[in-house]
């Protein structure tokens, strides 16, 4: 790979394209491009200093620090600073960043004016958030990153990440016939999000719980939405376009679009005494247990381990039911499917924590976006700095060209 991080690195172990069904592509040509594995799985397509996931070790990091350690000891603002500026803030940088980012939670008047029609559109929360952030990017005057220097790009990123909780909360309230609540710059990002959503400042425990969740979900390797954002950044587009594109990818159920399904399972179980029987029924039918399993982590998902503790600290029946259900799934799998050793993933306890913080179920994915916008922005800025377009190829497998164009019939 080149030092600019953008040469597509095709591993020598890549399987050649299957010829079945390939009628038109010249795969035999010595000049044919290499074929990437399905889903680009295992293929390195960029260099990054933002962070990484080591699935086999159950470890992920932001820059050079363990993300779990950051979540246990630092605020979202510290980690937001780390992701964008490449270092944790010192005390005076922290004070300055807290003040500057909090001030920028306030929405420009043009955005406030547009939100009621977006909220009345009948679209889902993620579509509404995309529309709201597209308007916010325009109102902030975001310019194509190709035309903007690094200082201004960073400034744009701080401003865009700052407005996400305000837009999510305002759209939610408008959709429920309530007036949006102005940000309070004396509060941290997590606490103010909950206040703007519910109308009441959260207690210390809930504010800290959500802060931990935001840190844990701010970035996670080269996932689908991050890659989407980087592809858009590679075109030189403005940061708003990158974030709105990434939101589209995040909205899919295979990525971030189904975090409430683990809670649906807890609803179905209802009583801890029923956990074993309900889980056994699902597993016997060959169904997937929501909130279990992960494509990258082989054993424990470190986000789930910490969120399980956060849920226990917050207390409540749900946390207890979740713990009993987790144990039931592990037991039933060991009995019925010893070949399938599944552990909880980030979604299992995230739903419990968010519910306990007073976040409605239909805003779980939008809340994920409140933090992930920081990771997307760091990646988009890193990509934009390379000034290289990501432009892979596809293998044509349709009917062989050039067939004669049929004579047009009728008018």
Ligand X SMILES: CC(C)(COP(=O)(O)OP(=O)(O)OC[C@H]1O[C@@H](n2cnc3c(N)ncnc32)[C@H](O)[C@@H]1OP(=O)(O)O)[C@@H](O)C(=O)NCCC(=O)NCCS
- 347 touches ligand X (CB under 6 A): yes
Q: Which of 35, 123, 342, 390 binds ligand X (CB under 6 A)?
A: 342
Size of the site for ligand X (CB under 6 A): 13
In this chain, which stretch among 64-72, 80-88, 154-162, 344-352 interacts with ligand X, using CB under 6 A? 344-352
CA atoms within a 13 Å half-sphere pointing along the CA-CB vector of 19? 4
CA-to-CA distance for 195 and 187, rounded, in angstroms? 9
Spatial CA neighbour of 189 closest among 98, 255, 109: 98
111, 141 Cβ separation under 8 angstroms: no
Output the smallest distance, CB 60 to ligand X, in A: 13
Output the smallest distance, CB 214 to ligand X, in A: 17
Q: Which tokens is 72 given?
A: 């246990």
Give 62's strand partners.
51, 65
- 322 touches ligand X (CB under 6 A): no
- 136 touches ligand X (CB under 6 A): no
Instruction: Give the DSSP H/E element, type plus range, for residue 51.
Output: strand 51-54
Output the smallest distance, CB 383 to ligand X, in A: 24
- 137 touches ligand X (CB under 6 A): no
Is the N-terminal amide bond of 402 cis, ω within 30° of 0? yes
Query: Which residue has the closest beta carbon to ligand X?
Result: 293
Residue closer to ligand X, measured from CB, 78 or 301: 301
- 377 touches ligand X (CB under 6 A): no
Residue closer to ligand X, measured from CB, 78 or 347: 347
- 78 touches ligand X (CB under 6 A): no
End-to-end CA distance of the chain: 54
Spatial CA neighbour of 225 closest among 188, 256, 183: 256
Residue closer to ligand X, measured from CB, 193 or 364: 364
CA-to-CA distance for 356 and 376, rounded, in angstroms? 27
CA-to-CA distance for 185 and 168, rounded, in angstroms? 17
β-pairing verdict for 65-66 and 59-62? antiparallel
Output the smallest distance, CB 182 to ligand X, in A: 34
List, by residue number, the catalytic residues. 294, 347
In this chain, which stretch among 106-114, 237-245, 341-349, 373-381 interacts with ligand X, using CB under 6 A? 341-349
Residue closer to ligand X, measured from CB, 156 or 326: 326
Output the smallest distance, CB 280 to ligand X, in A: 12
Q: Which residue has the tokens 């406030």?
A: 112
In this chain, which stretch among 113-121, 177-185, 192-200, 342-350 interacts with ligand X, using CB under 6 A? 342-350
In this chain, which stretch among 10-18, 310-318, 339-347, 396-404 interacts with ligand X, using CB under 6 A? 339-347
The full 3-state SS of 106-123, as one line of letters, equals CCCHHHHHHHHHHHCCCC
- 354 touches ligand X (CB under 6 A): no
Where in 266-305 is the site for ligand X (CB under 6 A)?
288-295
Tell me, rounded to whole angstroms, the distance of Cα 215 from its chain centroid: 12
CA-to-CA distance for 154 and 151, rounded, in angstroms? 5
- 306 touches ligand X (CB under 6 A): no
Output the smallest distance, CB 134 to ligand X, in A: 27
Residue closer to ligand X, measured from CB, 97 or 213: 213
Q: Which of 98, 140, 346, 374 binds ligand X (CB under 6 A)?
A: 346
Residue closer to ligand X, measured from CB, 112 or 342: 342
Output the smallest distance, CB 369 to ligand X, in A: 15
Spatial CA neighbour of 382 closest among 157, 198, 168: 157
β-pairing verdict for 65-66 and 51-54? unpaired
Residue closer to ligand X, measured from CB, 10 or 342: 342
CA-to-CA distance for 380 and 65, rounded, in angstroms? 20
Spatial CA neighbour of 294 closest among 54, 44, 49: 54
- Judged by the rule CB under 6 A, the positions of this chain that interact with ligand X are 288-295, 340, 342, 345-347
């Amino acid at each position: 790979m080149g030092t600019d991080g953008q040469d597509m690195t095709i591993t020598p172990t890549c399987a050649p394209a299957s010829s079945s069904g390939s009628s038109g592509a010249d795969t035999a040509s010595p000049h044919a491009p290499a074929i990437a594995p399905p889903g680009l799985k295992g293929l390195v397509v960029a260099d990054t200093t933002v962070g990484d996931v080591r699935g086999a070790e159950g470890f992920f990091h932001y820059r050079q620090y363990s993300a779990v350690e950051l979540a246990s000891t630092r605020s979202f603002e510290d980690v937001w600073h780390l992701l964008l500026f490449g270092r944790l803030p010192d005390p005076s940088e922290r004070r300055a960043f807290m003040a500057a980012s909090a001030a920028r939670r306030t929405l420009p008047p043009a955005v406030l004016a547009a939100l009621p029609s977006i909220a009345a559109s009948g679209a889902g929360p993620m579509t509404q958030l995309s529309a709201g952030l597209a308007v916010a990017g325009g109102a902030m005057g975001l310019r194509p990153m190709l035309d903007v220097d690094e200082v201004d790009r960073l400034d744009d990123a701080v401003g865009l990440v700052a407005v996400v909780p305000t837009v999510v909360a305002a759209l939610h309230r408008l959709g429920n016939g309530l007036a949006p609540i102005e940000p309070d710059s004396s509060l941290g990002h997590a606490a103010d999000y909950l206040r703007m959503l519910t109308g009441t400042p959260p207690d210390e425990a809930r504010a800290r719980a959500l802060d931990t969740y935001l840190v844990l979900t701010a970035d996670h390797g080269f996932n689908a939405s991050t890659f989407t954002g980087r592809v858009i950044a590679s075109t030189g587009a403005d940061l708003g376009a990158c974030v709105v594109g990434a939101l589209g990818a995040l909205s899919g159920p295979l990525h971030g679009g189904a975090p409430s399904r683990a809670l649906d399972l807890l609803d179905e179980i209802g009583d801890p005494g029923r956990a074993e029987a309900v889980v056994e029924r699902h597993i016997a039918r060959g169904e997937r247990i929501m909130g279990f399993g992960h494509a990258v982590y082989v054993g424990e998902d470190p986000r789930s381990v910490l969120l399980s503790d956060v849920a226990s600290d917050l207390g409540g029946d749900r946390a207890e039911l979740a713990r009993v259900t987790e144990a039931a799934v592990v037991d039933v799998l060991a009995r019925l499917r010893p070949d399938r050793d599944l552990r909880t993933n980030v979604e299992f306890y995230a739903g419990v924590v968010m519910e306990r913080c007073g976040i409605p179920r239909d805003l779980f994915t939008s809340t994920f976006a409140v933090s992930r916008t920081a990771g997307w922005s760091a990646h988009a800025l890193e990509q934009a700095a390379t000034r290289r377009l990501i432009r892979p190829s596809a293998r044509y497998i349709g009917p062989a060209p050039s067939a004669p164009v049929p004579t047009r019939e009728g008018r």
